[in-house]
Amino acid sequence: MENERVPEVVEKLDLDELKDEIVELIDGKKYGLMRSKLLELNEVDIAETLEEINDRMGLEKEILVFRMLPKDVSVDVFAYLPEDDQIDIINGITQSEINQIVQESAFDDMIDILEELPANLVDRILMNTPKEERKLINTFLNYPENSAGSLMTIDYISFRENMTVDEAIQHIREVGLDSETVYTGYVMDDSRHLIGVVSLRSMLVVDGQTLVSEVMHDENILSVTVKTDQEDVSKEFKRYGLLALPVVDNENRLVGIITVDDIFDVIDDEATEDFQRMAALSGRADEEYLDKSVFSHIMSRLPWLIALMCSYIVTGGIITRFQDMLSAMICLVTYMPMLSGTGGNSGSQSSTLIIRGLATEEIELKDAAKVLWKELRVSFCIGIVLSILNMVRVMLLDGNGFMVGLTVSLSMIVIIIVAKLTGSMLPILAKVIGLDPAIMAGPLVSSLTDLVSTLIYFVLATQILQL
Amino acid sequence: MENERVPEVVEKLDLDELKDEIVELIDGKKYGLMRSKLLELNEVDIAETLEEINDRMGLEKEILVFRMLPKDVSVDVFAYLPEDDQIDIINGITQSEINQIVQESAFDDMIDILEELPANLVDRILMNTPKEERKLINTFLNYPENSAGSLMTIDYISFRENMTVDEAIQHIREVGLDSETVYTGYVMDDSRHLIGVVSLRSMLVVDGQTLVSEVMHDENILSVTVKTDQEDVSKEFKRYGLLALPVVDNENRLVGIITVDDIFDVIDDEATEDFQRMAALSGRADEEYLDKSVFSHIMSRLPWLIALMCSYIVTGGIITRFQDMLSAMICLVTYMPMLSGTGGNSGSQSSTLIIRGLATEEIELKDAAKVLWKELRVSFCIGIVLSILNMVRVMLLDGNGFMVGLTVSLSMIVIIIVAKLTGSMLPILAKVIGLDPAIMAGPLVSSLTDLVSTLIYFVLATQILQL
């Protein structure tokens, strides 16, 4: 997708109305008018309208409308369609139409399309591609899924250091339309080593006879390798506010660039991955909820539920051991869900804050002691407030005695402190031993807190109530 | 910050070593060498090194080193420092140094600085600003915190439609260094109405005598108003892969632009806000964990904990009502934490998936029925598997009878279904009535599930076990 795409779109609200209108026009077979209405839209919005046509009127109509688009528009629209629609359309159009789409797509879009398609379709598509290009495509298809290699494109602008700025700008004029971005150029030596980076802005403000080598930045050039994880790539973009980032191989030879428009998806996927891990969900983060089958939903949820259930077996064991005490004072059961639930909630609060802080790099491992000290003070104060509220509840609302109130209130303070310290330290511990801190979140912390809080409550009860 | 900043930085690992080296040089009072080492770095990394100097050697040394920076570097470095360090430095340097920083900063950075400073400092700084500029600054300071107005800058490039492309490019050459971006220009009529948008790329590939009006996009120009929420602004950037977006007032007059580098922070803040709401935390998302006081940590956590505790009072009431039944068969207590915990966990899974789907717009309100049907099937299957596991546990592991096993297993199926349907529907319901779906997450869903699952378990127990 072109990097400096100039917005030419309608606002969301109008878009919904336009979709209705277009559906009506298709219904009335007024295809000419429909087509011209549709072509007033930006490619992003045309793709969304096609999806809507599929939802409301079926695949056949979507393919029909897709085929009516001018070839140059349909190529861009195709790139914006979700994977499912892409596969359906590929299956519904002719081989020559497929070839057209693949050959006209931007290189990184084409790789994205090929990556998602079933193998037999990829073979059909690559059948007519020249051998050299097929080799390059296969290299790209083999980069690991979340690596810089899978994000990059080969459509960048390169200069020689002995070019003048005028020559460089002339070069941009010639190849600019096919490049992902024209605003940053990359300077290579004879062996394709990256030796400099130059912005179009810096070339515009100097004399045209200046050499590229004089305006380029050539010290400590920021780059990533094809194997760099996409999360690290997105961190570089955020940290330095980049528009593009060069990708090099092990010998520092330039092999591609990544542009900022492809980073938005990465940031969203990384956040989604964290959300899912924090809610005890395994599996891929880039699959859409509605597209995912019931079976694969079950497989992403069941393992964690079973694992967490095991910690409750231990909690159950503790309860069984204290069964006689509970029988002797059955009103103690009343406060079990409140104590463990509140413990779980306050542990979740802490773990979420720390997980997020680690993810955005506001909190580092060396801050562990500061975090511990802060959580200790916070949990002590919160524990005091909640224990006073509970004393009031137990004695005034439920009419139980002072000793029961004391048991519940004291348990509350200890539970809150334990929950918050556990919740805040587990993510840091996970990071130390190389695990993703996000797994040490709500569900796991709640399950552990449940176990500990049950034990604390019962031990305090036996002591205070002499049971 | 300049939009196409060309990366000139060292990798993270080297940076840590360099920081150690710089701290040592300061210790040894080798300031000359220290300064030249420091100036090899990018402004982002210099700012980070200053923070580190403050952490390790105290504020005085940070100010000392900051004052040694060349004026043009120190202005950029200042913009990258965290708020606390900015305030400390402002308090430690002279009025003329402050004026220098404020006057040389990019307009949007200056507004950011002023927004964070205490009022008396702002007055001191604005004292020497010309009246017209002071008025403009005050307008910007009054835009609501999370609005497009607070994100935008006035440093954009504007053209007249009757300019030639050569004249337009010449204009960029003259003012380019002070603009936030030179890659998109905005075309205004005599009353400052936005009538077109033109990319530098599109101007480079046409003849120099072409008129700007011929290459500009002038239909359905995408823009936001000063009041648009920053979350909606970031959605437009993601949706269309934008580099910059114009901001207009109610009469469609151009008042500023927002560039992509300022959107990264917005995306992070919006995700952090969701993470916090989902963990029952209230308050601001842009405050750093370690900078926040113990008191304000307590205030962001306590209200939700108390509110959720109230739902446990209801759960406690249910338990009290069934107290006699529990006394008669105390082993039932053993399974309470497991049932409500697993219910809570599976409810959290569903609510997280739906909240995230709504946030990324993969799920829309019209998909509610599809979501319900999917969750129903998923929860039924998960319920069956977990109930079989529990039957085995209750009978073989704990040695309780078949009827107890049946009670626990049946309860499990019903609880999982109720939890997943509640977890998936509450966020959608929140969205319908105009609340943030993120509040209907783990903690709230767990608390509600706890209440319902206790009731289900006890009712089934009385029926099956004839208690």
CB contact under 8 A, B220 and A8: yes
pLDDT per residue as tens digits for the range A72-113: 888 888 888 887 888 888 888 887 787 778 777 777 777 877
Interface contact B344-A1, CB threshold 8 A: no
Furthest C-alpha separation in chain B: 95
* Dihedral sign, Cα of residue A227, residue A232, residue A238, residue A239: negative
Q: What is the nearest CA distance from A328 to chain B, expressed in angstroms? A: 9
CA distance A105 to A155: 11
What is the reported pLDDT for B280? 75
**Interatomic CA distance for residues B168 and B158, integer angstroms:** 9
Question: CB burial class (10 A; 0-12, 13-18, 19+) of residue B29?
Answer: exposed
- Considering A5-9, A310-314, B407-411, the range whose residues carry the highest mean pLDDT is B407-411
Which of the four pLDDT bands, split at 50, 70 and 90, describes residue A3? Answer: very low
> For residues A101 and B309, what is the distance between their CA atoms, to the nearest angstrom?
58
For position A384, what pLDDT does the model report?
Answer: 92
Give yes or no for a contact between A149 and A247, defined as CB atoms under 8 angstroms apart: yes
pLDDT at A122: 77
Mean pLDDT of all residues in A139-150: 81
**With contact defined as beta carbons under 8 Å apart, do A172 and A125 qualify?**
no
Q: Is residue A380 predicted with pLDDT exceeding 90?
A: yes
DSSP letter string, B98-140: HHHHHHHS-HHHHHHHHHHS-HHHHHHHHTTS-HHHHHHHHHH
pLDDT above 90 as % of chain A: 8
Size of interface A-B (CB pairs under 8 A): 383
State both tokens at B134. 């002071």
* H/E segment holding residue A242: none
Q: What is the average pLDDT score of chain B?
A: 83
pLDDT in tens, B33-81: 888 888 888 888 888 888 888 888 888 888 888 888 888 888 888 888 8
Give the range among A146-150, A176-180, B199-203 with minimum mean pLDDT. A176-180
Dihedral of the CA atoms A150, A155, A157, A158 (nearest 10)?
70
Give the pair of three-digit tokens for residue B308. Answer: 């959720």
Give burial (CB, 10 Å; 0-12/13-18/19+) of A466: exposed
B413: pLDDT confidence band, cut at 50, 70 and 90? very high
- Interatomic CA distance for residues B377 and B381, integer angstroms: 6
> How far away is chain A from the Cα of B91, in angstroms, using its nearest Cα?
24
Q: What mean pLDDT comes out for the span A159-165?
A: 89
Q: What is the percentage of chain B residues whose pLDDT exceeds 90?
A: 8
For chain A, what is the mean pLDDT? Answer: 83
pLDDT over 60 at B2, yes or no: no
For A6, which DSSP code? Answer: -
Q: Which pLDDT value is given to residue B320? A: 83
DSSP-based three-state secondary structure for A189: coil
| Tens-digit pLDDT profile for residues B117-151 | 777 777 777 777 777 777 778 777 778 878 888 88
Q: Which of B401, B394, B415 is nearest to B460 (CA)?
A: B415
Question: pLDDT tens digits for B338-396?
Answer: 898 899 889 988 988 898 888 888 888 888 888 999 999 999 999 999 999 988 888 88
Please name the member of A313, A330, A348 whose beta carbon is closest to the beta carbon of B279.
Answer: A348
Residue B9 clears pLDDT 80, i.e. is over it: no
Q: Do A353 and B173 touch (CB under 8 A)?
A: no
Alpha-carbon distance of A234 to B188, in angstroms, equals 35
Q: Which residues pair with B117 in a beta bridge?
A: none
Q: Residue B204: is its pLDDT beyond 50?
A: yes
**Short-list B179, B419, B367, B421, CA closest to A200:** B179
**Cα–Cα distance, A366 to A358 (Å, whole number):** 11
- Between helix B263-278 and helix B230-240 the angle, nearest 10°, is 120
Say if the Cβ atoms of A374 and B334 lie within 8 Å: no
What pLDDT, on the 0 to 100 scale, is given for residue A8?
38
The minimum CA-CA distance between A455 and chain B, rounded to whole Å, is 12
| Strand pairing category for B254-259 and B244-248 | antiparallel
Report the alpha-carbon distance of residue B374 to residue B420 in Å, rounded. Answer: 10
Domains of chain B, each with CATH number or no CATH: 12-142 (1.25.60.10), 157-265 (3.10.580.10), 294-464 (1.10.357.20)
Which residue in A248, A259, A333 has the most chain B C-beta atoms within 10 A of its own C-beta, making it the best mutation to test that interface? A333
Per DSSP, the residues of B404-441 read: HHHHHHHHHHHHHHHHHHHHHHHHHHHHHTTS-GGGSS
- Tell me how far apart the alpha carbons of residues B224 and B154 are, in angstroms, rounded to a whole number: 15
For position B384, what pLDDT does the model report? 92
Tens of pLDDT, residue by residue over A29-45, are 888 888 888 888 888 88
Summarize the confidence of residues A369-382 as an average pLDDT.
91
Q: How far apart are CA B174 and CA B166, in angstroms?
A: 12
CB contact at 8 A, B43 and B77? yes
Closest CB to A334 among B241, B316, B355? B316
Of A243, A340, A397, the CB nearest to B337: A340
Q: Residue B372 in contact with residue B365, Cβ under 8 Å?
A: no
Distance from CA of A127 to the nearest CA of B (A): 32
For residue B381, what is the nearest residue in chain A, using CA coordinates? A298
pLDDT recorded at residue B12: 44
**pLDDT of amino acid B250:** 83
Q: Which of B197, B297, B342 sits opposite A378 (nearest CB)?
A: B297
- pLDDT value of position A376: 92
Is the pLDDT at B404 greater than 70? The verdict is yes
Residue of B nearest to A195 (CA): B8
Contacts of B450 in chain A (CB under 8 A): 337, 341
Residues B112/B117/B120/B125 CA torsion (nearest 10 deg): -50
Minimal C-alpha gap between B15 and chain A (Å): 11
Q: If phi over 0 gives left and psi between -120 and 50 gives alpha, with beta otherwise, what is residue B181?
A: beta
List all residues 6 or more positions away from A173 whose beta carbon is below 8 Å from its beta carbon.
B204, B205
Among A445-459, B120-134, B159-173, B295-309, name the one with the lowest average pLDDT.
B120-134
In this predicted structure, what is the pLDDT of residue B311?
85
What pairs with residue B259 in β-bridges? Answer: B244
DSSP readout, A299-367? HHHHHHHHHHHHHHHHHHHHHHHTHHHHHHTGGGGGGHHHHHHHHHHHHHHHHHHHHHHHHTTSS-GGG
Cβ distance B205 to A176 under 8 Å?
yes
Task: For residue range B310-339, list pLDDT tens digits in order.
Answer: 888 888 888 888 888 888 878 888 888 889
pLDDT band at A420 (very low <50, low <70, confident <90, very high): very high
ipTM of the complex: 0.74
Q: How confident is the model at residue B1 (pLDDT cuts 50, 70, 90)?
A: very low
pLDDT single digits (tens) B75-119: 888 888 887 888 888 888 887 787 778 777 777 777 877 777 777
Q: Is the pTM of this model over 0.80?
A: no
pLDDT of residue B419: 92
